[in-house]
Amino acid sequence: MPTIDDFQKLDIRVGKIITVEDLPEARKPAFKLQIDLGLAMGIKKSCAHLPKNYSKEDLLNRQVRCVVNFPPRIGPATSEVLTLGVPDGNGECILVVPEREVSLGGRMY
């Protein structure tokens, strides 16, 4: 069973989506995102299966939570951070977002 120490190893931060592009080479519909994680972390890339529930316009300037300390994943495009979401009733991604606007780069605890 994981412990609180295991959870605290995850570095989950708040970022803001600043660009959204289609990722046509992905197996499932997906977007390429650039996420601003504030001055300390900078801008990172992420890929996410979001087109079923979000348009590009819906995502632009939206705050999201990201795991920033996983190694990059390389597929049709590189993901430097994992953008967090949970499945809806159809198994499609719904983003995990802050309830209110918060400072970019803020760490979840």
pLDDT of amino acid 63: 98
For residue 56, what is the enclosing H or E element? Answer: helix 56-59
* Phi-psi category of residue 38: left, alpha or beta, with phi > 0 → left and psi -120 to 50 → alpha: left
In the three-class reduction of DSSP (H, G, I as helix; E, B as strand; rest coil), residue 8 is classed as: helix
Q: What is the pLDDT of residue 75?
A: 86
* Beta bridge mates, 46: 33
Phi, psi of 46 (to 5 degrees): -150, 150
- Domains for the chain: give ranges and CATH numbers: 4-95 (2.40.50.140)
Residue showing tokens 């819906």: 58
Q: Give the tens place of pLDDT for each residue, 44-89.
A: 999 999 999 999 999 999 999 999 999 999 888 999 999 999 999 9
Decide: helix, strand or coil at residue 47: strand
Distances 40 to 27, 36, 79 between C-alpha atoms, Å: 33, 10, 19
Q: What are 15-42's pLDDT values in tens digits?
A: 999 999 999 999 999 999 999 999 999 9
